Amino acid sequence: MKRRLWTIFLTLALVLSLTGSAFAAKPYIEVSSPEELAAALAPKAGILSLRKAREPVRVLLRSDAAEDFSGAKRVLHYADLGMFVLEYDSDAEALAAVERFGSDRAWLDTPETGARVLDGGTNDVDPDPTETPAPSLTYTARSWGAAEMGLEQFRNNEQISAHLKDRHVTVAVLDTGADMTVPLFTERPLSPKSYDFVNATSDLTDITSGAAAGHGTMVTSLLCDLLPERTELMVLRVFDDSGSASRTRILAALQYAMEHGADIINMSLGWEKADSSYTFLNDMLDRLKAYGIPVVCAAGNRGADANTCYPASYETTISVAAVNSTLNIESFSNYGSSVDFAAPGSGLKMITLGGALKTDRGTSFAAPHVTAIAADMLLCEDFSPAQIYNNLRAHREDLGYAGQAVNYGWGFPRLGDFAENAITHTWSGGYTSPLATKDTDGTRHYVCPVCGETHEETIPATRSEKHNPFVDVSADIYYAEGVTWAVANGITTGVSDDGPLFAPENSCTRAQMVTFLWRAAGCPAPETAESPFADVQDPDAYYYSAVLWAEENELTNGVDETHFAPENTVTRAQTVTFLWRLAGKPAVETDNPFADVTEKDYFCAPVLWAVAEKITNGMDDAHFMPESACTRGQIVTFLYRDLGYRQCGVWSVEFGVEVSADADRFQLRYALLNSTLHLPHLLEAL
């Protein structure tokens, strides 16, 4: 009996030891979203009054993989940011962990190391706290900067409002939250995506009454004053009852803003005694820039070098100093090479807790002025952060001295000139449909990306020699008509204005070839925004949409499953294959005249089809030279003979598509491509 009990005991011990080992293999909690991270760090119900005593000491660690976390009572892993949050019982344990992991990637994350709001703290209360704003096109903002910077004029301009139509911009505000009882926020509701990262809830009613609590309400009300009603404010509360915004919470809020549609971020907060070790937000700020989201920060209020205020000091943010109504720098405002611009930062009336009016100062309130100008620019066009920065520089008044001044950065932004240009249509590159032919006119269509208004221009028929501007394309050369047709329809251009030159003997790349086809098709938008090719990943590349469209319509499969090889020279075989696939892969029964084209070649059917359709005759009677580079002159000739030369009005009767009787073959294909039927099935006979 004793032996049996001993055996059971050993078995249980073994099971427990194995269970313990399995637990130790992954002693951390995974969080996969900013909301989950906020929930994991939120104060627990019932111990709020004891929170300061019960709160663990946290360390923020930049790491992609689990390390030696011994001594930590709890570990959270936020893989998307490459961060771990380690919790310890004492300051000494946490400091030892920072030393062990290294201060270049580990930071204390406690109230003592948190960010602070950056106001000037004059605390002057306006004598009339009952005034509320009246939302209308002729609304008058309280900030003197609204009129001085052109923000009020922009907001009240009916022409701009009509031009912008349905465009919207979302401004994320990382701060102390906003008092939702203020009438301003009931008349102009805040974004439903607003979030309280302190309590991990979308309910923003838990706003404290501490000294810093009204800061976010003032910043948010100021932005409401400055911005048109078509802008939406996403309030993200990151400051707790002690007035501290932890590093972890700010990281999570920035990630949340990016994931939930913020177009620009205002951060009237920071660490005012930062040194070179303050880098914990850098990766996130770089990611925001890559996503096209500008971040505007207060430069700080210590009257010191702005390089000591983080994250305003980081290169990807826009740092804003404070000036008074005479446009002179305020003595409290930070200065130096980190300052980008100066904006109104004193004598500003704003709404605070309970709806009372308060006159206050600080770089906290200068930053929203620049945020508002940037948001107005984004309303007009989808500018990148770099373009926003350049626009602010281009539309500013120099202060101190010309250029980037030590106190004022690049100066005082003004919307005046930009607002005048904002109501001017900015036409897109346009598309052509139908294409002009030798004998018939075409039409070029343009759209204003801001308001959606359209504009059309006639493309004259290309028979006239006056359409050929190139000194290296003689009228009697075989590709002359093709060059004239392609240039007139915007399919390709010359290579130099000095001459000008077309360079007909130069070769083309595969990217250029599919771009020619895409332009001929009217630049249709691809259905997907994600490329299947590892070497076609830059959405700003001129050929990106063309390659996606070509792949969707089975015009190309790439050189293998994951590569398109955009910079490879396009061959004669590849060129006719693109055209054959565009035609729906029609079968052709004809003898093969070429010794260098065999039945096993992928390009055999395309070559025979191209010869039968008189698109090409080969390089001589017996050779097609499929692997030779296809020159610019040859490509436009193939395109012209296939898409812009022969008449095929009879097909419009068979397919029931309204195309004029003298339409060229491509015009019919274009009509079919934009019908409800699928291209490859419709075009098999063409």
Q: What is the pLDDT of residue 16?
A: 37
Structure tokens at 583: 């035609």
| Residue 426 CB neighbours (<10 A) | 14
Let me know: does 343 contact 412? Beta carbons within 8 Å: yes
Structure tokens at 23: 């637990």
Let me know: does 299 contact 334? Beta carbons within 8 Å: yes
Give CA–CA dist 395/417, Å, rounded. Answer: 7
Q: Could you read off the pLDDT of 391-423 as tens digits, one per residue?
A: 999 999 999 888 889 999 999 999 987 877 766
Q: b/e for 516-527, b at 16 or more Cβ within 10 A?
A: bbbbbbbbbebe
- Burial (CB count <10 Å: 0-12, 13-18, 19+), residue 656: exposed
Q: What is the pLDDT of residue 450?
A: 67
Give CA–CA dist 430/451, Å, rounded. Answer: 15
Give CA–CA dist 644/631, Å, rounded. Answer: 19
Give CA–CA dist 262/398, Å, rounded. Answer: 30
**Can you tell me which residue has the tokens 């080992």?**
21
Q: What is the pLDDT of residue 582?
A: 87
Which residues, including other chains, have CB under 8 Å from residue 134's CB and lie 6 or more apart?
none
Q: Specify the 3-state DSSP secondary structure of 640.
A: helix
Q: What is the pLDDT of residue 684?
A: 36
Q: Could you read off the pLDDT of 77-110 as tens digits, one per residue?
A: 998 888 999 999 999 999 999 999 998 999 999 8
3-class SS string, 562-627: CECCCCCECEHHHHHHHHHHHCCCCCCCCCCCCCCCCCCCCCHHHHHHHHHCCCCCCCECCECCCC
The dihedral sign for the CA sequence 556, 559, 561, 566: negative
The dihedral sign for the CA sequence 366, 367, 372, 377: positive
> Hey, what domains does the chain have and what are their CATH numbers?
27-113 (no CATH), 117-422 (3.40.50.200), 483-682 (no CATH)
**Can you tell me which residue has the tokens 């005249």?**
593
Which region holds residue 269: left if phi is over 0, alpha if psi is between -120 and 50, else beta?
beta
Residue 532 Cα to chain centre, angstroms? 20
Which residues, including other chains, have CB under 8 Å from residue 268's CB and lie 6 or more apart?
117, 118, 119, 175, 215, 219, 297, 298, 362, 363, 364, 365, 367, 368
Task: Enumerate long-range contacts of 134-139, CB under 8 Å, 24 or more apart.
Answer: 135/187, 135/188, 135/229, 137/161
The dihedral sign for the CA sequence 132, 137, 138, 144: positive
Low-confidence ranges of the chain (pLDDT < 70): 1-26, 44-54, 119-139, 208-211, 422-423, 450-451, 464-467, 497-498, 644-686
Structure tokens at 316: 């990807």
Let me know: does 308 contact 275? Beta carbons within 8 Å: yes
